[in-house]
Amino acid sequence: MKLFDLTLQLKGFPIKKARRYLQSINAKTEDDFGDFLNQQKQDILDFHLKNNQFYIQFTNGKNNFDHWEDIPVMTKSDLQQPLQNRLSTGHKSVNSYINKTSGSSGDPFIFAKDKFCHALTWAVIQQRFSWYDIDFNSSKQARFYGIPLDFAGFTKEKIKDALSGRQRFSVFDLSDEAFTKHLKKFRTTSFDYINGYTSAIVQFAKFLERGKFHLKTICPTLKACVVTSEMLFEDDKKLMEKVFGVPVINEYGASELDLIAFENPNRQWQINSETLYVEILDENDNLLPNGQEGRIVITSLFNKAHPFIRYDIGDIGILSEDGSLKKPTLKKLIGRTNDIAVLPSGKKAAGLTFYYITKSIIEDDGNIKEFVIEQLKIDTFKITYTCRQPLEAAQEEKIKIEMERYLEPGLVILFEQTSNLNRSSRGKLKQFSSQLKTTL
């Protein structure tokens, strides 16, 4: 029984239709694909120019562009307003897929996808994982992710885990004691693959190295490890492949868009050209040739519920000179690195732990515009934010409670409102950073 597919169908996401459509795109020749891409870019642009009041205002009412490069670039700050203001005609929360961005760049917002677009997202993900003989309907996943700690959120994720064949390993505790328990699960469970946050899986690999464990020997069914959400460094990848005994695959995606790039069996970081159009722009929004470093700007080719047209995702990257229009490849992704938080008890937590904590301050009214979290001392964290209205005492208290719940009691949490946040030289915010000098 294909339980994963059935779950999508029951939620109204037409996965079978999406999979057939994806296959039709894959079957196109290079020349035919060029025609398809140009037509799809024009179609999605025309749709939002006619059916999305937010986008009509964003483009100043202009209903025609002579050149694609004339279309204005959209940033995350442009989208920080109530979702209902940004939905296309005929699309509502009840008939669309609604979610929140992680806020890992410090610019959180709520977004929407129409149901066919979301089904296409899953069709692409399933296809990429199938390159490594992984089937979401049958393969067992060792999942190194966080999980909401409130009852409703926790229960929802556990149900999803059960339906998806996932065993979740929390990234909120990266201690040797926790990893020892994880290893026992690998001894008794026929996992097909590992999937999760890079930093947490790297810490697990270092634990295995210290103990001289070889994971493939312990769990012979293991086929692959897919890391996501954070930068994968080459030395870490070599370590993981050594102690895991399986290929380590680099995934790059964004919840509001799709799977952006996925490492193929030829070790190329293949971009998802089927549902996205990726450009590299300079600081003046000029298109850069392949091989040059610039801002990653992406168009979602099928999302009719919400416009993501020439959307600056906030990352810096380089497209490979060897890629083609149909199969472009990402040569390098710069950024998206998260530190490890080290706490007074000696406990370590992945930087993406703050994804779950910041859920408590992400609101649809867009009051919190940007934020960063910095570890000043082993027991002291500072949240610096920009907003229209300062956080109230009750809101600050809620965040403190969440910080202690996800990390540990006794932490000092400081708040600072500012008009501007310090950015890197590339204009990117790093959501979490630490001043501690720690060898991990």
* DSSP one-letter code for 329: B
What's the token pair of residue 226?
Answer: 């897919």
For residue 438, what pLDDT is reported? 54
Quote the pLDDT of residue 396: 87
Largest CA distance in the chain: 63
Reported as a single tens digit per residue, the pLDDT across 350-379 is: 766 776 676 556 555 667 766 788 899 999
Closest CA to 194 of 169, 212, 214, 176: 169
DSSP, res 392: P
3-state secondary structure 387-419: ECCCCCHHHHHHHHHHHHHHCCCCCEEEEEECC
CB 335 within 8 A of CB 317: no
Residue ranges for the chain with pLDDT beneath 50 = 336-338, 424-428, 439-440
Backbone angles phi, psi at 145, to 5 degrees: -135, 175
Retrieve residue 335's tokens.
């950024």
Alpha carbons 400 and 47: distance in angstroms, whole number: 44
Report the DSSP beta bridge partners of residue 299. Answer: 277
pTM: predicted TM-score of the whole model, two decimal places: 0.81
Supply the pLDDT for residue 268: 95
Q: In the block, which residue shows the tokens 């009691």?
A: 409
Number of CB atoms found within 10 A of residue 280's CB: 21
Quote the CA–CA distance of 172 and 169 in Å, as a whole number.
9
The matching CATH number, chosen from 3.90.25, 1.10.3470, 3.30.300, 1.20.1440, for 340-434 is 3.30.300
Contact 106, 429 (CB under 8 A): yes
Q: What is the DSSP string of 286-323?
A: PBPPTTS-EEEEEEESS--SS--SSEEEEEEEEE-TT-
Q: Find out whether 371 and 361 touch, Cβ atoms under 8 Å.
A: yes
By the 10 Å C-beta count (0-12 exposed, 13-18 middle, 19+ buried), 5 is classed as middle
Q: How much is the pLDDT for 426?
A: 37
Say if domain 3-334 classifies as CATH 3.40.50.12780: yes
Structure confidence at residue 427 (pLDDT): 41
Domain parsing of the chain, residue ranges: 3-334, 340-434
Tokens of 243: 């102690």
Predicted confidence (pLDDT) per residue in 193-232, tens digit: 999 988 889 889 989 999 999 999 999 999 999 998 777 8
Which secondary-structure segment (H or E) carries 409?
none
CA pair distance 39, 43, nearest whole angstrom: 6
